[in-house]
Structure 1
Amino acid sequence: MKSKIDGFMELVKQRNGHEPEFLQAVQEVAETVIPYIIDNDIYFGKNVLLRMVEPERLISFRVCWVDDDGEIQVNRGYRVQMNSAIGPYKGGLRFHPTVNASILKFLAFEQVFKNSLTTLPMGGGKGGSDFDPKGKSDNEIMRFCHAFMSELFRHIGHNTDVPAGDIGVGAREIGFMFGMYKKLKTTFTGVLTGKGASWGGSLIRPEATGYGNVYFAQDMLKTQKDSFNGKKVVISGSGNVAQYAAEKAIELGATVLTLSDSGGYIYDKDGIDTDKLKFVMDLKNNKRGRISEYVKVYTSAKFVAKEKPWSVPCDVALPCATQNELNGDDAKKLVSNGCICVSEGANMPSTPEAIHEFQKAKILFAPGKASNAGGVATSGLEMSQNSLRLSWTRKEVDDKLKDIMSDIHDSCVKYGEKDDGSIDYIRGANIAGFVKVADAMLAQGIV
């Protein structure tokens, strides 16, 4: 078996050797899916996984815009349309200096499996730019978004490719891009998700990834006849995902101890309660401040610069910042400090070494393609509302989100349960996501 996996990865490396993030994502899937393919004649010999790792389309384009000083700036834009076997491409746009083809291909590849797990008819895609919104004025961001969409509009549509937000792309950026799309196409369609509630957006879309992550962790804890009540929770990040994961964990009776950003993390031994979380939300969303400012207001807390929060003892860890933020040494610290559950809110935040430590310790571990699917699930619900010209209530959307996360959990259990009764959520998520897409690809022939 190892020789078949190694042979497959060697072929993928020949084509993508300069893309480490993408290769890491493919390796993790290959290790669980290839044995399943070999055991199931319907997939064996069809090169289905090899077809999945090759994007159907990878678009790269120049984005020229004018800053407030009148100087022309040049950035690079991308859209990776990975797989459309079960529906139009769906996945976020990321604006961050680290954006490159490797990162977007890994995100798009993960998105294929994530979208499949939601049971909604959505293919996988991802896009973005190496543009950095930090420190830019609203007018500069508007000019960039308009320039970006003036190229991207050629390649998207409500039945073709429906982008959403991601890191660096919130309601403001979605609004600017939608405005330019509407102007260029002279049509009002649900071509972007994450829109404002007054013009086609869905309630709880900003909350959905964080809420969904906690719902998934809650389902994992239920398999051990446990819950969030009374648990100590460590969270990385302080953007939307981290904020709303904290909000839902607090609502379920947990004590949230940490949040972080690129400068370091805050540790509040008394817990980040609802009022303190509101301060963080205003600080990060409106004032665009640094998390270190928290300790100026809540002086019993401390700020640890240039570190991540994984050395803080906890019961549940929710990595909600970015890829590969939690390594093998971090995982050992979490396990030795009594952590029983890790649920990924970000995309691939745990390194392979970290995952090995979690699985060796037999603690509950949820991969992001399953546990952070709440965001794209709610984007899918927004697409449905746009198509029907309806707007569901907050409770209706939240109930649907919770049901979808439970269904994803059940699928992971179906394909990931071992003989000893334990659940390999990585194996379960990869195979469950693969089966739906692979069946559709085989039904449609070689296209």
Structure 2
Amino acid sequence: MVAVPPPRGSRQVSASVVQRSTPAPALADGPTSLRRFTTADAADFAAIHHDPLNVKWASADAGMTAERAAELIEGSVAEGWDNGSLLRFAIVERLDGGERVIGTLSLQNVHRTPRGGAGSVGIKLLAAGRGRGNAGRAVGLACGYAFGTLGLAVLHWSTTVGNAPSRALAERCGFTLAAEIPGFGHKDGDVADGWLLVQSAAAWRGRMAGSATDKPAIASAAPAGGARGEPELDIAAVVPQLSDGNVVLRALREHDADQLVINCSSLEAIRWTTVPLGYTREHANHFINTITPDGWRTGDTLTFAVADPATDTLLGTVDLQCKHPGAAAVGINFGEHARGTGAAEKAVRLLADYAFNQLNLSYLHWSAMVPNWGSRKLAWKLGFAFEGQVRGAFNDRGTPADRWILTLAATDPRAPQAPWDGPGAPRR
């Protein structure tokens, strides 16, 4: 980790004195970046405080105006950076060639000492920023900056008891529950019990060293003021492991390559999916080592291996294609040895739970090339509602084909919402 040099003109201190002046870095991980707020962000800063979830769980000021936000950015936010005790970042997402502020992340109560120090993490997102992995990437950037650049030894995370998404986000980012404290949280403007979670610098470094890719790289980036030379952190994504006891969703691994070749060479995969024809071990290695990690790093496509919990044998793959805020499309491909076992249904149920409860998505979409009745029936079993058939919307290896579209909302039951009307349906 490269240390950030003090800004020009700052006074020098002896080794026994902690430098209080804090540079304002620009940090980035794929489409998500952190930078200091400017007054041009005032309307976005105010909108973050209007979000109902932030009002409910974080005592955000629902009546904040853009004028008041600008005063805070020039006042207490700037003072926090000046004295180093409160470092408030804008969370920025790059999407469709543009950038937008989607939230705020703070390193609060920062107390730096010659031997380390401590601080706490606070995060608020707009609804438009949820469900695309931005929160996890933003927290990863903040942890890298806090532990690597500021040299802190401990970070805290506090949230109100009952705010399960906040606690789940903290735990995905390496924080562990330390205590449940009466009166330590806030809900609907009132005091409530709170959870306190903790992560140490040593634990964070262990997670980084144990990740599937190299340790974070350092590159130059343009900070908000336009000068160059501050660090940009590229944090490796950590793929969660999910299980219901019958199947396991995990990261793809090198030993999955042979079975992946078999799965992608089956007649069903060739007929109904867009896997390359003549699928080889080289295709599999590129998918495992390049395409899948890149998808997790950018948040565009989150691919899981589906494995047998007893043998760790690869059964298939499922993914979330996160192209639009708050929604994702489901992708699925299983080998012939797993078909008819119920593994695909169990895997997609786990994937849906992860999408709705961990990523806070609102909708999942399912598409199948007509007439792939097996895919459509699986979606029907899971509660996806048939929306319609779009002519010529599927690229069948260069030839237009019709596409079925189905949708599952976070609030929908995970069971059939209408009688089955495909092959084998009872006559009415």
TM-score (norm 2): 0.29
Bigger radius of gyration, 1 or 2? 2
Q: Which has the higher contact order (CA 8 A, sep 6+)?
A: 1
Query: 1 or 2, which has the higher helix percentage?
Result: 1
TM-score (norm 1): 0.29
Query: 1 or 2, which has the higher strand percentage?
Result: 2
